[in-house]
Amino acid sequence: MRLKHLAMSGLLVAFAAPAVRAEYIVLRSGQRFTVTGYQILGNSYRLQMKGGTVDVPVEQVLTIEPEEVFTPVPHVEISQEPFGKLIRAAAKRYSVDADLITSVIAAESNFDPKAISRRNARGLMQLLPATAAHLGVKDIFDPQENIDAGTHYLSDLLLLYKNDLALTLAAYNAGPQRVQRYGQRVPPFAETISYVRRVKQTYNQRKASTPPVKINVSGGTAALATVAPSR
């Protein structure tokens, strides 16, 4: 286990200040600690935490659990956020609220364009390779392609679920098939329930801290999203 910027003893203490996106890493030894992001690099997880990163062999990780409590974060204008220009372009192209795209990115990757999940979802919006290929993505780690495709997928889900945000986010996390399997409801998975709660909390915080911004679309306006048909 290689530790960067932290003494080894720092790994064993609880990281009490949760970030916008936070999860518990549980090792087979019984140790549990909080991370704000992680990548799979070969046979190791690279864990991001307050103060630095640490590499942990995959076989030492027992499970990764979502954290249920997230501290409020101040609103940052999209123009001042990472990839703000790309987010605004995708929002305009697919008529999806830019704050929603930003909230999904924050929960999915914490704005890390090289993030890879344990399920092999990749990039800023954590696209599965099959989904990315279906949407015509050439380079899944390219921020522009990833945000464009992820927003396209969000717009399709918003259309499918008639702008029901909870079902849209549940399908984004667990897949539309599982939403259908559980009677067009949020599947009873701890990870999915936590994900929907986390994204909605961030999104609501962003909307509460700034005047509503409506997106101009043909024939009217939309506060959350007016979804274009899938191309």
What angle do the packed helices 165-174 and 190-208 form, to 10 degrees? 130
The residue type found at 82 is P
Q: In whole angstroms, give the CA distance from residue 179 to residue 185.
A: 6
Would you say the C-alpha torsion 77, 103, 49, 3 has a positive or negative sign? negative
User: What is the token pair recorded at 223?
Assistant: 């506060």
Give catalytic residues, as residue numbers: 108
Would you state the structure tokens that stand for residue 60, as one six-digit string? 């030492």
Quote the tokens at residue 138. Answer: 């050439």
- Establish how many alpha carbons lie within 13 A of residue 63's alpha carbon, considering only the half-sphere containing its beta carbon: 6
Instruction: For residues 195 and 176, give the distance between their C-alpha atoms in angstroms, rounded to a whole number.
Output: 15
Query: Any residues with CB less than 8 A from the CB of 138 and at least 6 apart, and which?
Result: 145
Give the integer Cα–Cα distance in Å for 87 and 44: 31
